[in-house]
Amino acid sequence: MRILHTYKETFADGPGIRYAIYVAGCDLACNGCHNPSSWPYDQGELLTDSVLERIRSEIISNPMLTGITISGGDPLDPKNATDTLFLLQGLEDLGKHIMLYTGRIAEQLIHSPVPEAQKTCLQYVDVLVEGPFVLGQRDTTTFRGSKNQQFVKTKEMYLKGCLYANKIHEYVINKL
Ligand code: SF4
């Protein structure tokens, strides 16, 4: 997977002051996508051990950061999910609140036969912002693109042993 951009501080990608990582590649082609230039997989910087170490250092050096946001592109695109899992596991010990934006639908990630890495990533994500962008439901008042997209506390589901149970609705929050 390749990294399109990192931002050392942002207020636009979730609550608080966050470090943002934008990955390259998405195969969903949502009508009205905010960032179609992120769709190709072959742009940006390859995610390597040294790039991960640089990201970690930048996060550790800023005590003001409250969280980390991973967006794109789509980090849970089937072509990206294995490397996104590597990224999530490499950041876990920093103890930051993790948000991840995906155009995939949480219900399908959990209950459909998708690659294992796509499912496993959910264990590391405090708030998953899930679902494709729907132009007719655009929402500019929250940290999501359209009203169909849900905020799901997938890590909490995992920790309570019900990530794969049919309980997503109990872990959906209305706003951040
Ligand atoms: S999932 Fe996100 S990046 Fe992919 S097409 Fe939809 S809005 Fe664009």
pLDDT tens profile 13-50: 999 999 999 999 999 999 999 999 999 999 999 999 99
Domain boundaries, the chain: 2-173
Pocket-testing residue among 22, 69, 74, ligand 1, by greatest number of atoms within 8 A of Cβ: 74
Closest by alpha carbon to 27, among 87, 100, 102, 84?
A: 102
Nearest CA to ligand 1 atom 7: 33
Q: Which residues contact 139 (CB under 8 A, 6 or more apart)?
A: 145, 146, 147, 149
Closest by alpha carbon to 122, among 67, 166, 75?
A: 75
pTM: 0.96
What is the C-alpha separation between 78 and 116, in angstroms, rounded?
A: 10
Closest-lying ligand 1 atom to the alpha carbon of residue 101: 2
Q: What is the chain's pLDDT, residue by residue, as a tens digit (176 residues)?
A: 999 999 999 999 999 999 999 999 999 999 999 999 999 999 999 999 999 999 999 999 999 999 999 999 999 999 999 999 999 999 999 999 999 999 999 999 998 888 899 999 999 999 999 999 999 999 988 899 999 999 999 999 999 998 888 889 999 998 78
Domain 2-173: give its CATH code.
3.20.20.70
Pocket-testing residue among 5, 26, 34, ligand 1, by greatest number of atoms within 8 A of Cβ: 26
Q: Please tell me the distance between residue 151's alpha carbon and the centre of ligand 1 in angstroms.
A: 16
| Ligand 1 cavity residues, CB under 6 Å | 26, 28-30, 33-35, 38, 72-74, 103, 132-133
Pairing outcome for strands 97-101 and 67-71: parallel
Q: What is the mean pLDDT of the chain?
A: 96
Q: Please tell me the distance between residue 72's alpha carbon and the centre of ligand 1 in angstroms.
A: 8
